[in-house]
Structure 1
């Protein structure tokens, strides 16, 4: 009888254990100066003005006749950034001052030196910064570290680099580029996972959940703002493995609520075991992201089976990635993005629903709206757009060979990892060829 009770107790623990949250420690790392491999990145646009923002600021002597000032917000603090000349004879900004300790005194902070590069007959200028800026700010009551690289570029259509002219200042873009990430590792069901978080909007939080902004909800292609999430088992991450950070994660047959706690340097995965539904997939996928029909909050899925478990709700396809070998053994990667033209689908509690996506893919040639606008404005040129759509009206964003060199498919002469560019021919009603040529990747 003692053995029976022990067996029942062990079984009870085994059934309860999966409901416990899994805490994944996260490691902060700033990128090295000579970074040569892919690491997650993001950008934050900085609005600049020609006058010092309101407040009690202490500044060192400035060289430029027209310095640019911008306020950057991280956590609970605001930081002043100033674009200045390193030398009086500079034509464009070549150094940046940043109040890294947020004490409103820029005389005790190191100057970020840069090199101004010119291109297109001195019509385009770009500042290449020689070092990153490291700061600490308060988030959630705790101090957190952050690293970024300030950058600026400008376009001078008339090759006139007179910064006293307002029209030239309007063509200057200033932004911050992420120079750090958080990463972690964990084991689940005998599988060792590695994750990395990217601060795609460069605000220092790393926990902004995917959402299609209101001003972009009329666009055909669904593009979600928010931070980025990378997960892998047996390979390093690259640009194309990025998933928009969702508030849920599916691994195998388990569904988790995701919480990113940057101040405590941890990711918490809490199992979701109720009100679940099954979604059937027509293709074997590597990665998948579904958005709620409200176009915010998402379900991230890594290497799902043909049926994936998700919380009940209404969803739209945001992104998927397929890896497939051709007959010669070369490995190809296809990435597709969701479309507003696709219908939302409902995953009901305890039910099954099929996700429309993938084959058959169909090529579409169209004149995009911006090109139509140019024609209405008097342009004699017609710009054609070549798009590939899947069964669910999703749009193929990339098709690349990522391993091998034996394929018999014609390849692009400009980009050896992509198929040969498609050609087009415009024929009049009488059969005469009006125009023919080749599309370009871009």
Structure 2
């Protein structure tokens, strides 16, 4: 007899509570029960009132498999093709068309009408965001030690004889927050011709004399203002003025000054500036001496769409996109998370509220590296589901030391992280716990 038990279990487990899913599941179950018989051969025999019908068990299995996948993922093209192909073959089986033609026709129409829902799309996006990124394989035994000499953009790596060995670009070191004197381990870059070497880790620091390195001043998180062709910088996101040798300066900027990538500056862009303190051009023309060190990739605020409330469905859609009443105003938000896990989704939440997401490797055991990452932040959110235990204490210690707003998300979920971000921005307790916190919405 055709063993239909596992197929029935699979269909029942995949059947949701909506009408369409229930109808598809019921049709599939009826099909199985109608075709079950005592035959043990690959071909099962279905007895009707007047005649015996031989059914290809392989096509039945394909049909059931396609239906199960379609119930689990409505509108899936591969599942639809599998189920429809099996139905067509069964229809041409002798006496099947006469006995089950109407049921097969209804099932075919239901399959063709199956469409991908918004929930399925959101589920796929979430699953993709949850997949951990592959960590590059690095052989730390091959790394050699060099001392960092910071440049206006990027840095030089020098060996023990004070000879320059490699020059790295700003994009390679910006997230490491390196400064002159840091001791790093690096290896030659073989896979990317655009880079000379890759830094493996920061291992120490030594103080350099004034004769070994030129002093560099920086102006971080400066706000670009003006219209295209007439952009300038005078303040940063905290409202502090750009001052050169104690004098306030209005600095014209142009994206062509930025050496890496083809990034266009617009009104509201956030940039880092750097200059050598001893540059004689600072006195006469600061624009010639000051360089754009970095341009942050920040989504510009968009005008809120007008939502027309016509039907109940429109109201439901409006609730689905409800945002918390929060605007980070381009504050730097450190996301303490390990191994880049779930990073894309959490960075998207920060961007949604106009913040600048900066990932922090919470599995990194080096306190010096973690301190350098945290000291220039405005907010740091610790995702305890991904953080190493010893790193948790380090992050709290440095957040307190540098007066960085701090909150904890005990879950890796979207809402838990969003609420932790809200508590930190509003000055509420770091832990939600059992206390009642009112999260205002827009």
Tell me the TM-score range normalised by the shorter chain. Answer: under 0.3
Scaled by the length of structure 2, what TM-score is found? 0.22
Higher-Rg structure is 2
Scaled by the length of structure 1, what TM-score is found? 0.22
Flag the structure with more relative contact order, 1 or 2, with Cα contacts below 8 A and sequence separation at least 6: 1
Q: Per residue, is there more strand in 1 or in 2? A: 1
Q: Per residue, is there more helix in 1 or in 2? A: 2
